[in-house]
Chain A
Amino acid sequence: MSLQILPYAEEAVPAVREFNQRLLAGGAVADLQFPETPHPGWMPGMELFLAVEDSMVRGGYILRRQMFSVGGATLGAAHYRLPLSEGIVNRSYAHLGLRMVRDALSREPRLYALGMGGWDKPLPRMLKRLGWTMCAVPFHFKVVHPFRFLRHIRPLRTSPLRRAALDAAAFTGAGWLGMKALGLVTPCARRLLPCPFDLAPGFAPWADEVWERSRPAYALLAQRDAAALDQLYPPSDPRFLRVRATGGWAVLLDTQMQDHKQFGDMRVGTIVDCLAPPSSAGAIVRAAASLLEQRGVDLIVSNQLHTGWSRALLESGFRGSASNYLLALSPAFAQAAGGANPGQFHINRGDGDGPIHL
């Protein structure tokens, strides 16, 4: 029997479990696992599909349907997420990656993928070859506590010599000077202009006004009205800090990391999501950074694609760094955006999977 791609039904759960076990046994990394329920419930609008061959599951992917504002018009699109193929561990299924992308495109021509782990990974290489529009979503960071940053930032502590140098900079009390020597802080990092803000318990209904006022300024952005935001960042979830400042808002996370592969044991503040007209981006970033600094985070990070938000971060003492957080737009989605420069798209960690890894 040939392979079919079918909606994920409850009775397929045992076969999905076996599929996940085969991936693990074949050496796939532990987070490459397909949901062992057809209703994972992370986000609204999700449709799950399985590649089934003789009652065995050989792959799967998720479409998350969303509304977008594209050039001021509203249209539907979908996030192509977690495509997993047995081809990862069994080359007999090397054809399945392409089969699943084409199947997804047949269900929704306007697709996007986000994250993907870096340019060298199979999915972005595949999407690029298929003519998708690709770019990296810039990563920005601001060091608040140099001592803890120098002691815990794992991508920099890659050799005994580097660890010794970073520890010396930290323990001699010359952390800040050390950071400057390493080019990790900018001169204006300590001179943030205060910006008034308050914390909101939820988005409704004031965020609708921000949405309507902001959307014409962006060539492409996912719907961020009050209803969509309250689904993404539920008022019942105490992790999300909703900062309201002049012209817009930001959603923040303040996370105590533990043995994190990049951040070690640092306390990391994240500007997850935000919205305002680009002219107000600076005020929102300053308010968000001020709050996170007051709360005592060691480091603040944010991925922002739009040049206005990127500039606002840099002007607020953040530094840019290499990013492996990639955006890919299918040809139909890119065409709907009228060939606009991706720097005019509003994409951040609130898109795609949402802040599940932060």
Chain B
Amino acid sequence: MNEQVLSRVREIASDVLQADVTPESSPETIESWDSVQHLNLVLALEEEYGFEFLPEEMDQAKTVGSLARLVSAKRGA
């Protein structure tokens, strides 16, 4: 995975969720990560990178790390 992407995704997630995050952070580990904040995070990433996640991609992205991997893959596609 592109380390620059991971770093930027962590920054965005930290900003949206108002919490310190690691690649393993998920809705189960971050108190503020509810459905509305998940939406805010997805939209912030889509705005940052200029694409929209496909429905099946959204199901896979359940941690900050998996979101970063997804972003990397979509940017490389």
Contacts and interface: CB of A to CB of B under 8 A. Distances in A.
Interface of A: 2-3, 5, 85, 87-88, 91-92, 94-99, 102-103, 122, 125-126, 129-130
26 contacts: A2-B59, A3-B56, A5-B55, A85-B35, A87-B34, A87-B38, A91-B26, A92-B26, A92-B28, A92-B62, A94-B27, A94-B35, A94-B37, A95-B35, A95-B42, A95-B61, A96-B35, A97-B38, A97-B39, A98-B38, A99-B58, A99-B59, A102-B55, A125-B36, A126-B36, A130-B43
Given A94-B27, A98-B42, A126-B39, A103 B34 contact: no
A95 B36 contact: no
A98 B38 CA distance: 8
B72 interface: no
A232 B18 CA distance: 46
B77 to A, nearest CB: 18
Contact of B39 (A3, A91, A98): A98
Given A92-B28, A94-B27, A122 B36 contact: yes
Contacts of A96: 35
B60 A91 contact: no
A87 to B, nearest CB: 5
A99 B61 CA distance: 12
Contacts of A85: 35
A2 B60 contact: yes
